[in-house]
Amino acid sequence: MQSFYDLTLPELEKVIGALGNEKFRARQLYNWIYNRGVLDFSEMTNISKSLRGVFSDMFSTSTPVISDTLESEDGSIKFGLLTEDGSLIESVFMPEEGRNTLCVSSQIGCRMGCRFCVTGKIGFRRNLSASEIVGQIMAVRQHLGDMRISNIVFMGMGEPIDNLDNVLVSLDIIKNSLGLDFSHRKVTISSVGLIGGLQSIQTKVASLAISLNAANDEKRTYLMPINRMYPIREIIRFVKEFKASGRVRITFEYVLLKGVNDSLEDAKELAELLKGVKCKVNLIPCNESPYIEFKTPSPETIERFQAYLHEKRFITIIRDSRGKDVSGACGQLGMKYLEECAP
């Protein structure tokens, strides 16, 4: 059966129209399902009984099933969700003052192989469908009840731009005012910088986070093999042009790894690289894991790094690592896949 969550509104209108129904039926369904959270067609009282029956035979509104929830002492919740084929997806809900962010996954595993990331160690298993991406939001939303999700970040398992078609469909649904209705500013895509694909999301999102992690190619290639294909100068050139379009806010993510990219020299090189680029820098102290070789720098080292960037007038934020104690923080998702393979 066709998943409802794979269809953008125009696609749904087409499918419904092909059956000889008026287009507004599609908007009614969107409203019931996304806006009001009613997933059972029999409860959609402004649609005739016979048509409800037709829709219920045509579309599935089931979501990935929450199989596991782990609550961190900081209030974050890591959700384990099972897809129809029994694959595990992880999503993390992070409540904080003024906003509640849900971090969603776009793939199972990841082929980018960043050295500091557990998901990268799994390797690539498969892309998530649009319905599995939207389904994470629907399932978590139903679970949370009154607690509203205010922001969506594509920073879970996988590189979103490597699953571009499905991510674009999910973005359409997430941002449609009759769909999940998240405004431009509330949705962030995080990418290693797959420049070709990033062009296509210019008009789709307001916020783009680029995972940089080093200010020279030698170090970045060591940490992120994809840098061979998209070296730093190309990323910076792209960001300058992207920014010039005025549509999108750019953040650079920089995971601080003890003794690797956390020195004052590294900070100086970074400041030099980003000179003249209108952006924000998020510093993310490395989240340690038995599966990665890197350690977290000391608080003094982190502060010194930030202070230097501040001195150079960069907006620089040290990002709290939420959900660390439940392996739900940045770079920690997917550990279960590695545990399964452990001897």
Query: Where along the sequence are the contacts to ligand SF4 (CB under 6 A)?
Result: 110, 112-114, 117, 119-120, 157-159, 192, 211, 331
Distances (CA, A) of 4 to 15, 236, 341: 11, 39, 34
For the bound state, the minimum distance from the C-beta of residue 218 to ligand SF4, rounded and expressed in Å, comes to 18
> In this complex, which beta carbon is closest to ligand SF4, that of residue 64 or of residue 334?
334
Question: 157 vs 302, which CB is nearer to ligand SF4?
Answer: 157
Q: Is 341 a catalytic residue?
A: no
**3-state SS class at 252:** strand
Q: What whole-number distance in Å separates Cα of residue 301 and Cα of residue 214?
A: 16
- CA-to-CA distance for 315 and 58, rounded, in angstroms? 50
- Closest separation between CB of residue 315 and ligand SF4, Å? 22
CB of 243 to ligand SF4, least distance (A): 22
Residue showing the smallest CB distance to ligand SF4 in the complex: 120
- For ligand SF4, the closer of residues 25 and 220 by Cβ is 220
Please identify, using beta-carbon distances, which residue of 197 and 331 lies nearer to ligand SF4.
Answer: 331
Residue 170, classed as helix, strand or coil, is helix
Q: Are 165 and 8 in contact (CB under 8 A)?
A: no
For 259-312, give the DSSP string: TTS-SHHHHHHHHHHHTT---EEEEEE----TT----PPPHHHHHHHHHHHHHT
The minimum distance between CB 197 and ligand SF4, in angstroms, equals 13
CB 91 within 8 A of CB 77: no
**Could you tell me if 221 and 188 are in contact, meaning their C-beta atoms sit under 8 angstroms apart?**
no
Concerning whether 90 is annotated as a catalytic residue, the answer is yes
Least separation in angstroms between residue 117's CB and ligand SF4 is 3
Minimum distance, C-beta of residue 28 to ligand SF4, in the bound complex (Å): 38
Question: How many C-beta atoms surround the C-beta of residue 321 within 10 A?
Answer: 21
- Quote the CA–CA distance of 233 and 38 in Å, as a whole number: 48
Comparison of 152 and 157: residue with beta carbon closer to ligand SF4: 157
CA distance 174 to 183: 9
Choose between 139 and 223: whose C-beta lies nearer to ligand SF4.
Answer: 223
Tokens of 175: 């941002």
CB 59: neighbour CB atoms within 10 A? 20
Q: How many other C-beta atoms can be found within 10 angstroms of the C-beta atom of residue 9?
A: 19
Task: Tell me how far apart the alpha carbons of residues 213 and 299 are, in angstroms, rounded to a whole number.
Answer: 18
Among 90, 159, 253, 288, the active-site one is 90
Gap between the Cα atoms of 51 and 143, Å rounded: 29
Comparison of 110 and 257: residue with beta carbon closer to ligand SF4 = 110
d(CA 36, CA 102): 19
Report in angstroms how near the CB of residue 33 gets to ligand SF4 at its nearest: 29
Residues serving a catalytic function are: 90, 330
